[in-house]
Structure 1
């Protein structure tokens, strides 16, 4: 299973590093059956994060044909309300950073991935908002950081208040630290619970929160 984690200018580092380490460890426990790489829509380059001078280097190009799993992180930056009351540039707010990805080749590549039956698109935190703003997940169940749930709904997605939301070939994680739980869930779902448990033990991490799925009977009562 090849997982490609997508970098873009202003990405949130923890959204990337947490799933990267989980997937890399899963590769160790499966003798290479799981592999992970950092990519961009443009190809190999140094990519600045939204957290100070920290940057990461992509080693390849996002490829919906090669990748079995594509993971899209959220952004780091100022909240809109904070920028309005400080000297921060409103272009540095998280929604603005996420919005700039729409001017790149990223939405088209993710759209291609969503059309492929054998490719999973996953997101951490604000990554699902990129898909929503691009009009790619209208009517789909998804989650994001709790501050972005209204925007998710406004763009036509169906927000779910859960740690991880499994809508088939679309799997989304909530806040920043959910990247750990999202990646572990993907390992459990695609590789198996024994490997996922071994990675949990390695990192001394116990998954938390609710995993919501479209599978199974729908509840008769709406809460």
Structure 2
């Protein structure tokens, strides 16, 4: 399963690194996961919100990815610039129903600005609920799963919980995911709101 994690100048480093680390560790444990840090415009390096430079990045390929995880960060500038929202909309059109969009904390706002939420249930950082309400039915939950749109919020480490949540149903490897959770030393937190049904 290919998982692309989107980065851009000013991205929230904790959002990305914590989420990516879960996926990368799952791969290291032999799970069929291929995580990549990607950019929308083909940039090979970007600078995170705390000034750290990240290199050796790949251009995303939404046609072959199962998940595109979008981080938060200095997103007001990106929304005003409009480039990433436009590229997100194009990526979803290319990936179709197969592509799961995952908003990590304020990354949900980029999905909203891209026209990819449109009244659907979603969450983000609590300080941004009013902003998210422009596009979404705001749900006060740690994770909101609406099928091909999964969002998380309420803190720096919410992306870890999002990663666990995305892996378990996709891979059907509950015992391995629990072992990964135990190894990281972080139990899942908060409420999950979902439309998914086991029936």
TM-score for both structures, normalised by structure 2: 0.90
1:6 equivalent in structure 2: 6
1:41 matched to which residue of 2?
40
How many positions carry a matched residue from both structures?
194
In 2 relative to 1, CA 143–11 (structure 1 residues): closer, same or farther, beyond 3 Å? same
User: What is the Cα deviation at residue 63 of structure 1?
Assistant: 1.1
The separation in 1 between residues aligned to 2:75 and 2:66, in whole angstroms, is 28
2:150 corresponding residue in structure 1: 171
Secondary structure in structure 2 of the residue aligned to 1:117:
helix
Task: Flag as ranges the 4+ runs of structure 1 deviating above 6 A.
Answer: none
Distance 1:159 1:172, change over 3 A: same
| TM-score normalized by the length of structure 1 | 0.81
Asked whether the equivalents of residues 7 and 58 of structure 1 are also in contact (C-alpha less than 8 Å), the reply is: no
Say if 2:7 and 2:39, in contact at 8 Å, map to a contact too.
yes
Conserved 8 A contact 1:27-1:35: yes
Equivalent residue number for residue 88 of structure 2: 107
Relative distance call for 1:25 and 1:101 in structure 2 (3 A) is: farther
Deviation at 1:194, TM superposition (A): 1.4
Gap runs ≥5 in structure 2: none
RMSD of aligned alpha carbons: 1.7
Answer yes or no: is the 8 Å Cα contact 2:141–2:193 preserved in 1: yes
Quote the offset at 1:96 in angstroms: 2.4
Q: 1:57 aligns with which of 55, 58, 61?
A: 55
Q: Is the 8 A contact 2:44 2:57 kept in 1?
A: yes
Q: State the 1:26 CA deviation.
A: 0.9
Report 1:112-131 matches (<5 A): 112=93, 116-131=96-111
**CA–CA distance in structure 1, aligned partners of residues 180 and 48 of structure 2:** 26
- Where does the alignment leave 5 or more consecutive residues of structure 1 unmatched? 76-93, 217-223
**2:128 aligned residue:** 148
| Contact 2:122/2:138 (8 A) holds in 1 | yes
